[in-house]
Amino acid sequence: MSDATTQTAATKAGLPFNDAVPGAVLEVIEDALVVSPDRLLELATYLRDQQDYDYLVMVTSVDWPDYFEVVYYLTHVSGATGDAEMSGGGAPGNDFTGSPGHRPMRSIGVTLSPAPLVLKVRLPDKSNPQVPSVVPVWPGADLQEREIYDLMGIRFDGHPNLRRILLWDGFEGHPLRKDYQESYFEEGAKPFKSRHPEGEHLWAEDRVPWKDNISYPVAWDPDLWTQPEVQYRRIMGVDEGGNGAGVQAERVLINMGPQHPSTHGVFRMVVAVEGEQIVGLEPEIGYLHRCHEKIGERNTYIMNIPFTDRLDYISSMSNNLGYVLAVEKLMGLEAPERADYIRVIMAEFTRIISHLIAVGFLFNDLGAYFTPALYGLRERELMLDLFESVAGSRMMCNYMRFGGVFADLPAGWVERARDLVWNRLPHVMERFEDLMSGNEIFLFRTRGVGHLSAAEAIAYSMAGPMLRASGVPYDIRKAQPYSAYDRFEFDVCTRPEGDVWARFRVRMDEIYQSLRILKQALDGLPEGPIMPPGKKQYQMRVPAGEAYSRIEGPKGELGFYVVSDGAPNPYRYHVRAPTFINLTSLEKMCVGHKIADAVVILGAVDIVLGEVDR
């Protein structure tokens, strides 16, 4: 062996984890480990089993000029927020329909969670990029790997169901690749020169007639083409011998959606049933897909703030916050203290809005037609009045800015907010408890339905109420505080049951905790500026680098992964959409239940298709 080879081997042996998995880590770059694709699965298993990296936060990819890069964020969830005793019990037979003091809740002795561990796998063969699937290690990678395959064209060897997920199976090309140009492509980055500075816009349809702006796959023949047909072989048991031995009833495929009123938008569940029992399920999404991330990479950085409003359109303020925190991390910006408090206030009002709508429409799915939902929407209107008075818009708020917020609170705003928080909303919650919590039909339809254990919830990368309803006391506001959350006292709400009733109960409990945070924030709201000093910027160059920002959105961990190459537009812009990843466990929760139960289980996931499909 040459001296150079010996030196290289010794260097690699000194890299993190290479003593346990030799040759796995190739180099350390900034805050990430570059990993050999051949040793990825072995390293992933070691990290999960021996280093307690039990939770896969996110998987995404980047198209660099010389290689594709698959990026994994890992963290600890078990024990990340400390140990605590349940107060108030938690057995299914207990009555928790009374005042907030009777509800089971964890009072957390917080241990801050370390920053996520970042792994990067580089694939220089851009004509045939392949990497092992980590689904056998972290099942939560399932839908995320399919998304990368669909939009970036990277194959994940060993994936149990690798096919397109957001685009139809006959789609040609992979839109997130840098060389992809869609129909009527104009320029790779905004503002387009036809709009600014010349301002002489010509409609794309006039500039490039349709017949001159289409392309077909190599050797494609329209006379020989047939539409791809998805067989759903896995859930139909085709690869397991079909409907033969041991099957007492014929297995039938049923479509629920995408026009079904109980699928919360254009969402489709392909359900395999034997008799009345669900034996397999696949979520079919993408009906609202508009390639949000591709558009986000063409927008300037500030253009993406209002663009995030269109994700979970119930939670505009939270979407803004998650994105600006990522860009602020790249720029080294810190918001003034008053702006941080205002951000928390807006985020907690957003959480209350989201949870009221979630529990209201869950009852709607069960047949309590519109009464609980309208009660929730009525209170939402009052909170949207507050948003409109400060941001100028009710739903698409576009309120956060890099380094602060768009405008200060107008005169009388705090007094109106205080009246809601101290007087109206607590009484509304009492009525909600009386109306819903003890409803006999609701309890019968939700207890024991859609069960997900703590270990399963962690393995499937569940987040938010979906994770905490399985008894896992993990909340990013506690584990990795951002804005001013480290200044407020509140509890992380959990339930041990892991069923639909627990998910309902956690959301109700979190409304009380949001009110608790709001009282502290409104009482302690400091005076001062809402933006750093200096001139307002309508265009900026973010320093080269990458950042991942994660917040505890109403529906779970909302993350933004932003890569800058120093240009006015993001080189890579990725959204870790909590409701998209929370759908990974849908089949697990539904199998063994009836069709009617699937409606309730989906309702408790609380999806918004603008965020799921992006």
pLDDT in tens, 135-186: 999 999 999 999 999 999 999 999 988 888 898 887 888 999 988 887 777 7
Extract the tokens encoding 300. 């300037």
Burial of 245 (0-12, 13-18, 19+ CB in 10 A): exposed
Q: Which two three-digit tokens encode residue 587?
A: 């089949």
Cα distances from 389 to residues 136, 305, 376, 384, in angstroms, run 50, 19, 20, 9
Distance between CA atoms of residues 218 and 85, nearest Å = 63
Question: What SS3 class is residue 594?
Answer: strand
pLDDT value of residue 576:
92
What's phi and psi for 102, nearest 5 deg? -95, 0
CA distance 391 to 381: 15
| pLDDT tops 60 at residue 373 | yes
Query: How many other C-beta atoms are found inside a 10 Å radius of the C-beta of residue 526?
Result: 11
Distance between CA atoms of 539 and 324, rounded to whole angstroms? 14
For residue 282, the Cα-to-chain-centroid distance in whole angstroms is: 19
How high is the pLDDT of residue 414?
Answer: 92
Cα-to-chain-centroid distance, residue 211? 39
In whole angstroms, what is the distance from residue 447 CA to residue 433 CA? 17
- Report how far apart the first and last C-alpha atoms of the chain are (Å, whole number): 52
- Residue 99: what pLDDT? 34
Distance, CA of 170 to CA of 164 (rounded, Å):
9
Element (H, E) at 331: helix 316-331
* 427-452: pLDDT as tens digits: 988 888 888 888 888 888 888 898 99
Q: Does position 242 have pLDDT exceeding 60, yes or no? A: no
User: What is the distance between the alpha carbons of residues 280 and 252, in angstroms, rounded to a whole number?
Assistant: 10
Q: How far apart are CA 365 and CA 601, in angstroms?
A: 10
- Here the tokens at position 143 are 């839908």
Instruction: Kindly indicate the confidence band of residue 239, based on its pLDDT and cuts at 50, 70 and 90.
Output: low
Contact (CB, 8 A) for 512 and 486: no
Rounded Cα distance, 481 and 499, in Å: 28
Among 457, 552, 480, 614, which Cα is nearest to 60's?
614
**pLDDT value at 81 more than 60:** no
> What average pLDDT does the segment 82-94 reach?
33
Buried (b) or exposed (e) across 292-330, using 16+ Cβ within 10 A? bbbbbbbbbbbbbbbbbbbbbebbbbbbbbbbbbbbbbb
pLDDT in tens, 283-329: 888 888 888 999 899 988 998 998 888 888 888 899 999 999 999 99
Task: Give the model confidence (pLDDT) of 9-20 as tens digits.
Answer: 444 557 888 898
Taking residue 170's Cβ as centre, other Cβ atoms within 10 Å add up to 12
Q: Which two tokens stand for residue 44?
A: 């992933």
How many other C-beta atoms are found inside a 10 Å radius of the C-beta of residue 579? 25
Give me the chain's average pLDDT, please.
Answer: 83
- Helices and strands: H and E segment counts in the chain: 21, 17
Instruction: Name, in order, each residue with C-beta under 8 angstroms of 8's C-beta and a sequence gap of 6 or more.
Output: none
Structural domain spans, the chain:
3-97+110-157, 100-109+288-613
pLDDT, position 105: 43
Residue 376's closest CA among 394, 354, 398?
Answer: 354
Cα 141 from Cα 421, distance rounded (Å): 39
Taken as a whole, the chain contains a residue count of 614
DSSP string, 379-441: HHHHHHHHHHHHHS-SSS---EETTEESSPPPTTHHHHHHHIIIIIHHHHHHHHIIIIIT-HH
- pLDDT attached to residue 103: 38
DSSP letters for 235-279: HHTGGGTTT-TT--S-EEEEEE-SS-GGGSSS-EEEEEEETTEEE
Closest of 161, 123, 169 to residue 144, by C-alpha:
161
| Residue 206 pLDDT | 73
The whole-angstrom separation of Cα 364 and Cα 600 is 10
Between CA 525 and CA 530 the distance in angstroms is 12
Confidence label for 522 from pLDDT (cuts 50, 70 and 90) = very high
pLDDT band at 262 (very low <50, low <70, confident <90, very high): low
Using the predicted structure, report yes or no on whether residue 43 has a pLDDT greater than 90: yes
pLDDT band, residue 89 (cuts 50/70/90):
very low
What separation in angstroms does the CA of 199 have from each of 18, 193, 568, 573? 57, 8, 20, 27
Q: Can you give the pTM of this predicted structure?
A: 0.88
Q: Which residue is listed with tokens 């006379």?
A: 223
CATH class of 100-109+288-613: mainly alpha
Write the DSSP string, 103-170: S-EE-----PPPPPEEEEEEE--TTS-EEE--TTT-GGGHHHHHHHHHHH--EEET-TT-S-SSS-TT
- CATH 3.30.460.80 for domain 3-97+110-157, yes or no, is yes
Residue in this structure with the two tokens 């387009």, named with its chain if needed: 192
Q: Long-range contacts: 141-145, Cβ < 8 Å, 24+? A: 141/56, 141/59, 141/461, 142/584, 143/283, 143/580, 143/581, 143/583, 143/584, 144/58, 144/59, 144/60, 144/581, 145/59
